[in-house]
Structure 1
Amino acid sequence: MASRPESSLPPELYYDDKEAKKYTQNSRIIQIQSEMSERAIELLSLPEDPTIRSSLLVLDVGCGSGISGAALTEAGLNWFGVDISSSMLEIALENEVEGGLARCDIGHGLPFRAGCFDAVVSVSALQWLAYSDRSTANPIRRQRAFFTSLYACMSVGARAVLQFYPADELQLQLLLNSAMSCGFTGGLVTDYPESAKARKHFLVLDTAGTRPMPAAQDEAGGRHSTKQQQPMRKGSKAWIMRKKEQYRRKNPDSKALPSDSKYTGRKRKPRF
């Protein structure tokens, strides 16, 4: 398996001048990022009326060099992007993108006033919040800081669509749990779920009420319904596995926990 960039260096170091330039000149990356940006915009379910769209302001989280911003502009939307990589933002400025830009570590929270964004998109950024590059950076705390501030800066009834690449099911559930614990409704939309290569995960989050979840795409080009995915139930096997994994990450040399087995989380029958 190819190494994941987020497990090697923090994003502001990984995307230096060399890597940022290579990233934004790779035609395949541009195509993939553009397609995922267009899909994220589709999942926002915004009005098609150009007059209404031109009055909306969309936040682009992890905007990079402006590939996703170009898709937002093409869709007739105004946008403001944040990214932690100065090198990526410099390329965006050189490309004269039509949105506003700011450097921001989303793990510290978003620095915007309440209710100022009508929608949010993010492409390939969220997974960076699942890693810490120093002992003082707790992934759970960083996720909560991001989702809490994201919820606050979105208008009532706004939707966020956040595409990401989870390393495993545990990481996916941690991000989903963090979002739901901060007040969001919604869940996960997974396109091409049967394909390991083409599979794409989107967190679709609403700030108010319970809207129907968008349909996911499948290999045949069709759509199928998506159920809202709820956070792990306390005491369930998934919850126990998550807690054990968190403990092992903090205490790598400890042997206090029993090994995982098919009996993990299994309820015992009462003794009489």
Structure 2
Amino acid sequence: MSGRPEHQAPPEIFYGEDEARKYSRNTRMMEIQLTMSERAVELLCLPENQPCHLIDLGCGSGLSGETLTEQGHIWTGVDISSAMLGVAKEREVEGDLLLGDLGQGLPFRAGAFDGAISISALQWLCNADQRSHNPAKRLYIFFSSLYSCLSRGSRAIFQFYPENSSQVELITSQAMKAGFTGGLVVDYPNSTKAKKFFLCLMTGGQQPLPAALGVDSREDAPNHVAFSQKRDRVKQLRSGKAPKKSRDWILEKKERRRRQGKETRDDSKFTGRKRPSHVW
């Protein structure tokens, strides 16, 4: 059996009474959760000295919510495990708590929140725990409802553990379909233990991704995986920018490689020319 928790049982079963207690007793687990929560809040880029109303998706026992409280924010937490929420109530967290399945959507009014964070929860939506579950549809329903209840210009930050590149593609494609822009920020990409994936989603159009931690500023490009929507490509065309794969785009890319000292083929009249297709 896989060692990944989401392959062992549905979240409402896996996070039963015994597992939930670990999040209030295991010091190392608590420290890791708090560190990731602080990083998620940092990536939200919230206004300084201004309390915000945030939503904690998969809030569990309220550890991440405590980080929000410490930084002066008001928060609402949603989780599918009643046992985890029970521990959160025992710990007397200050946020409002809601029992709910993220895959069924969020029941909040439009523009209710100034941002969202989620720690170690997103990968659970990629599983089909019931016959009626379709991961792609559940992700779309979730992201669509999240997009609706966030104020325009706000962000949603998901720390998660992707199983493979296909899972990342599944998640990002449904987020784009729902209206988000953004991409992945990978902290400490060269470390086996410290490496962390953060999906940064934005509601105000395409924006620069935050810098990754543990990366030389000259080498951080591979650690930012951005995605854009078709409408962004249309805007590029309208603004006069060279569309991707065009001759001008290729020439600009080759010039950047030369400036970086990388080996690059010389330009010619064939650069960027489409090759004729052949049918055999």
- Fold conserved between structures, TM > 0.5: yes
Aligned to 1:81: 77
Unaligned runs of at least 5 residues, structure 2: 231-274
**Distance in 2 between residues matched to 1:220 and 1:34, nearest whole Å:** 25
Asked if 1:158 is matched to 2:166, the reply is no
Describe the superposition over 1:198-240 as per-residue Cα deviations: whole angstroms up to 9, x where unpaired. Answer: 211111111112222100011679994564522799xxxxxxx
Is the 2:181–2:229 Cα contact (8 Å) retained in structure 1?
A: no
**Distance in 1 between residues matched to 2:94 and 2:174, nearest whole Å:** 32
Is the 1:59–1:121 Cα contact (8 Å) retained in structure 2?
A: yes
Asked if 1:229 is matched to 2:201, the reply is no
Is the 1:43–1:214 Cα contact (8 Å) retained in structure 2?
A: yes
* TM-score (norm. length: structure 1): 0.81
Aligned to 1:38: 38
C-alpha displacement of 1:269 = 5.2
**Distance in 1 between residues matched to 2:108 and 2:207, nearest whole Å:** 25
Quick one: which amino acid aligns to residue 10 of structure 2?
P
Quick one: which amino acid aligns to residue 93 of structure 1?
K
Name the SS of the counterpart of 2:151 in structure 1.
strand
Asked if 1:65 is matched to 2:61, the reply is yes
**Distance in 2 between residues matched to 1:41 and 1:69, nearest whole Å:** 11
Quick one: which amino acid aligns to residue 229 of structure 1?
A
Aligned to 2:170: 174
Is the 1:119–1:154 Cα contact (8 Å) retained in structure 2?
A: yes
Identity %: 50
Unaligned runs of at least 5 residues, structure 1: 234-266
Describe the superposition over 1:96-150 as per-residue Cα deviations: whole angstroms up to 9, x where unpaired. Answer: 1011111010000011111100010000000000101122111111101100100
Runs (4+) of structure 1 exceeding 3 A deviation are: 219-228
| Higher Rg of the two aligned structures | 2
Is the 1:177–1:231 Cα contact (8 Å) retained in structure 2?
A: no
| Residue 205 of structure 1, aligned match among 201, 221, 224 | 201
Is the 2:182–2:228 Cα contact (8 Å) retained in structure 1?
A: no
**Distance in 2 between residues matched to 1:222 and 1:22, nearest whole Å:** 40
C-alpha displacement of 1:44 = 0.4
